[in-house]
Structure 1
Amino acid sequence: MLPSFEIAARHRPVTLVATSDAFPLRAPFGAVEATLAGAGTAELALEGADGTRLAVRLEDGRASLLVRLGGVEHPLRSRRYGRVATPPTRLGLTLTGDHLAVLTLEDGGWVARGRIDLREIGGPDTRDPAWLAGLRPDASGVDDVRAGSFGQLGLRDIRLVSHADGSPYRVGREVLFTATSAGPGFFDTAHTSVWALRATGDIEWRADLFFERPDHPGVYGDHATHLVRDAERWLVATSTWSDFPARKADRVPGALRVTLAESADDLTRGQHVLATRHLDLPTAGPSVGTWDPHLVRTPDGWLVGYVSARRFFDFHPLLAAGPSLDRLALRGAASDRRATEGTTLLRVGEDWRVLASDGRDNPRALRGRYPVFDTSLTEIGTVAAPYPTNIPWPTVVPPDPDVPGDEWRLVTFDGRRSGGRLAGYGTHGDLIVMRQTAPA
């Protein structure tokens, strides 16, 4: 049995420049920000060794993008969002995947004032490590310049970092978790990050993880990730969301899938680029994509929870099992759902349970709740906890057996956006920490 939960804390760690010692960039996730010095023209840029210049400008209350390619400059300005109504205090540039954006800091919050997919104007291959290595920041008409790796506008897809047996990976009184660090746009502007959750409920950024794919060159910000400590190595299972298009017409069945990486490095600190291979996951019938992996090794072999979509977006949770991660067979599927994800394995007493999140596009009786399944994916109950907006994952933190009186916690997220209307849906959400309200 699990306890009931109530909300204890909310966090929204919005940061454009996460680390200022990140050049040369290892992945196409960089940022420059600065204080506006006065009423004159202010400009920030990332300049490439090939002559490419990715710049943002604020002039006469209008924010714009200036992209120089092959000696030709492309001025780009949003008619709807480019005019700054409130005098900003800082100017920001972000490169997130293929997207260049200009942001202004207004009334304490960053607002996206312009964005371009560089592929639409014949831009560089931003995922090419050689091109990234040549990028350097530049600025004029500003003070207090900071440049480095991009941080986030919001956090979602919360997963505990765990040992292979499913127990939380603890560093003293802290538990670690992975998150999707949202960029100023759709899913293709986000990447994976690693955080610490303290006993006080506070959080702290620790690492960023980026990925190479077995079938495409370059470095990707794939996300919805599970980080697993398996003896002396790390296993990293992630979802290939980094180039998932916002336009429905551009979505290709089979392009969204799960990859697996292995590393002996300390992935809980710093920035890392990991080589991956495909993790083949069985599905219950036709599938256009799989995502949200969660891995546990039991005495009988591996259990893997994940999501499969019959079409975009009609998706449900599944569980596979096998003696190795390369020999998995379907154990169960909750195919009566059409908007359920965040498949999470949790040991409760001597039994394994599968938790998930029933979104509001499900049938009426299966909306806005956290179902609990057995390992055949038969529902046996629900988690009694507040259900924020969007499809929040039920990331449960069991009590630390070495800390007397330690209690259950649940960490999740909501759909609250930031960055203004142009940044849109992909910027969700707040990180929400819950605590137990009744004994388990």
Structure 2
Amino acid sequence: MNDHQANRRAVLRGMGILGLTGAAGLLGAGAASATSAATTPFDLHFEVTDKFRPFDLIAPNFVQYDSAVHARSLTGTVITTNVRPRAPYGTVIVEVQQLSGAGVVAGLAGASSSVLGVYDASTGQVSIEVTTGGTTTTVKSAAASLRAPFRFATVVNENAVTVLADTTGTGTGWQPLITERDGVRALIDLRVPDVLGTLSYAYGGRGNGSALLGRVQAGYFGQAGVRDPHVVQYADGRPYVKDGKLYLTMTQAGLGFFQQAHWGVWTLDLASARLEQVATLFFARDGVVLGDHAGQIVVDGDRYILLMSSWGDFNFQGVHVRHTTTTANVLSGVHVLPTEQLALPTSVSSWDPALTKINGRWHIAFVESPAQQPAFVFHPALAAAPRGADYSSGLQLLGADISVDQTEGTILQQVGGTWYVLASDGDARQYPVYDLKMRKLGTLDAPYGTNIPHPMIVRRDGAWWLITFDGTQYAEPVLGYGGHGDFILMRA
């Protein structure tokens, strides 16, 4: 582990999100009376019904290239597909049927540039190569021993490149072999549209021997886990449901830290707990395309309001909430949208926006963070626009809970006719509940697992549900922190 990784781990440990566990949230002393005629959040007692790990190197609905199932013998040849992603979040998967003194490559390639994962069976090495201006640089390599048949993959998440192999033949045994971000970025910036636009998915053989390849697939990267669930809703807070399925956004964990993650829209069948990704979203700002995430979509008439957190280029020097509106159907397909910073009433960092129009006035809950190093410090806050103004105009602070410093995951939700702000306290390991003046009323009665799980509660078909996640990592010894979490569904 290098010094940067050690410092990052120390910072994240300061956040309280590395390997912590906790008991179920307890009812606070200020909870509403049980004799109240209307249901309150404190009448809801949640239990876990489902827990599983969404994991896809290529999002199932976002395959862009498929060679079909046929074998092809290649010797030292790289095939460019002329198919490319609109953002630097893509994967190439190659079935390797036989290797005879040869190797296999997969990644992105163009006329004079390429970013490739390479396995050379003759040397027993796996490597990441970057070619720019006709010069090829091996930015990282490691020993590896792969025996055909196996599956080989190169994943691009932002400027991080990861090479993986699956020797099980089932597609469920993916293990990362090497990953590198800084060395790649020193040579090429895949976030720049004019750079990415010269590259397309590529694959082939390497060396003088022969490589017999089977099916090749390429497309948008899926996820190593999911987190930050937020139900898509109408302006008045009603959940968006279509064909019996609840729509929600989730951060899709990349193979590494926060910049490697991106944002997608999913549907959830509550009866079966079946998840399906239906849209993938990227954001253009400052001349690059990023995977900003941890936000919300609000359907307001014929427009979609999108709010997200600027984690896509996070470097420990601040985070802020961004936003945009569009009439394009962002609940389906692939979108790259320009955004701008939302003028929140705070002078410090912010993230986890939650927007709802309450009694004719736009309210937005969010997280304030006065520091991200040497340790993260953050707490929930609530603001509102003047009556009759749009959601982004003249926002005024209504309150904040500055007594906590590890609390995020803000959610606005109506229970029993009353609106509340929900959040997640990583220190106390519970979900605090606030009124619209940010006075703490109590806590949700719900299991609290690892990380800082968000309390996304929603009412559907007469039942209350809580959608959240945990801190279960994927291949942390190779990839470092960031590849979490498991999807968790609870019912009251």
TM-score, normalisation: structure 2: 0.80
SS of equivalent residue, structure 2 residue 447: coil
Match of 1:233 among 298, 303, 326: 303
Aligned partners of 2:411 and 2:456 also within 8 Å:
yes
User: How many Å apart are 1:106 and its aligned residue?
Assistant: 4.6
Aligned partners of 1:46 and 1:136 also within 8 Å:
yes
Give the gaps of 5 or more residues in structure 1: 246-250, 401-405
Query: Once the two structures are superposed, what CA deviation does each residue of 1:70-99 show, in whole Å capped at 9, x if it has no partner?
Result: 2111123345xx535898821111111111
SS of equivalent residue, structure 1 residue 327: coil
Distance 2:312 2:185 in 1: 20
The higher radius of gyration belongs to 2
Distance 1:44 1:220 in 2: 23
Match of 2:164 among 96, 103, 114: 103
Match of 1:372 among 433, 451, 461: 433
Name the counterpart of 1:205: 277
Query: Once the two structures are superposed, what CA deviation does each residue of 1:108-130 show, in whole Å capped at 9, x if it has no partner?
Result: 33222212225656322312223
Match of 1:123 among 165, 180, 187: 187
Name the counterpart of 1:46: 108
Match of 1:252 among 311, 317, 334: 317
Amino acid at match of 2:175: V
1:189 aligns with 2:251: no
Query: Once the two structures are superposed, what CA deviation does each residue of 1:166-185 show, in whole Å capped at 9, x if it has no partner?
Result: 11111131111101111111
Aligned partners of 2:139 and 2:184 also within 8 Å:
no
Query: Once the two structures are superposed, what CA deviation does each residue of 1:148-170 show, in whole Å capped at 9, x if it has no partner?
Result: 11111110111111111111111
1:329 aligns with 2:374: no
Amino acid at match of 1:182: A
Name the counterpart of 1:248: none
1:307 aligns with 2:363: no
Distance 2:47 2:296 in 1: 25
- Equivalences, count: 410
Query: Once the two structures are superposed, what CA deviation does each residue of 1:313-364 show, in whole Å capped at 9, x if it has no partner?
Result: 10000000112322101101011111100010001122110000011xx3xx
Give the gaps of 5 or more residues in structure 2: 1-39, 66-82, 205-210
Distance 1:121 1:176 in 2: 35
SS of equivalent residue, structure 1 residue 15: coil
Aligned partners of 2:476 and 2:483 also within 8 Å:
no
Distance 1:137 1:279 in 2: 35
Match of 1:37 among 92, 97, 102: 97
Give RMSD over aligned pairs: 1.9
Distance 2:320 2:167 in 1: 38
Distance 1:386 1:263 in 2: 37
Aligned partners of 1:168 and 1:397 also within 8 Å:
yes
Name the counterpart of 2:229: 158
Aligned partners of 1:7 and 1:432 also within 8 Å:
yes
Distance 2:104 2:146 in 1: 17
Distance 1:78 1:6 in 2: 46
Distance 2:345 2:445 in 1: 31
Distance 1:278 1:224 in 2: 15
SS of equivalent residue, structure 1 residue 125: coil
Aligned partners of 2:351 and 2:366 also within 8 Å:
yes
Query: Once the two structures are superposed, what CA deviation does each residue of 1:44-71 show, in whole Å capped at 9, x if it has no partner?
Result: 131034x111111123353211111221
Name the counterpart of 1:355: 422
Cα separation, partners in 2 of 1:399 and 1:33, compared to 1, 3 Å? same
- Counterparts of 1:256-271 in structure 2, within 5 Å, are 256-271=319-334
Name the counterpart of 2:70: none
Distance 1:184 1:387 in 2: 25
More displaced 10-residue stretch of structure 1: 4-13 or 174-183: 4-13
Amino acid at match of 1:395: M
Distance 1:322 1:16 in 2: 41
Cα separation, partners in 2 of 1:115 and 1:408, compared to 1, 3 Å? same
User: How many Å apart are 1:424 and its aligned residue?
Assistant: 2.4
Match of 1:409 among 465, 472, 479: 465
- Counterparts of 1:144-155 in structure 2, within 5 Å, are 144-155=215-226
Aligned partners of 2:229 and 2:454 also within 8 Å:
yes
Aligned partners of 1:259 and 1:278 also within 8 Å:
yes
1:26 aligns with 2:91: no
1:179 aligns with 2:250: yes
TM-score, normalisation: structure 1: 0.89
More displaced 10-residue stretch of structure 1: 69-78 or 10-19: 69-78
Name the counterpart of 1:12: 53
SS of equivalent residue, structure 1 residue 130: helix
Amino acid at match of 1:252: Q
Amino acid at match of 2:483: T
Cα separation, partners in 2 of 1:155 and 1:121, compared to 1, 3 Å? closer
1:71 aligns with 2:143: no
Aligned partners of 1:355 and 1:371 also within 8 Å:
yes
Aligned partners of 2:151 and 2:166 also within 8 Å:
yes
Aligned partners of 1:31 and 1:93 also within 8 Å:
yes
Aligned partners of 2:125 and 2:141 also within 8 Å:
no
Distance 2:258 2:235 in 1: 28
Distance 2:460 2:185 in 1: 52
Distance 1:87 1:193 in 2: 34
Aligned partners of 2:107 and 2:155 also within 8 Å:
no
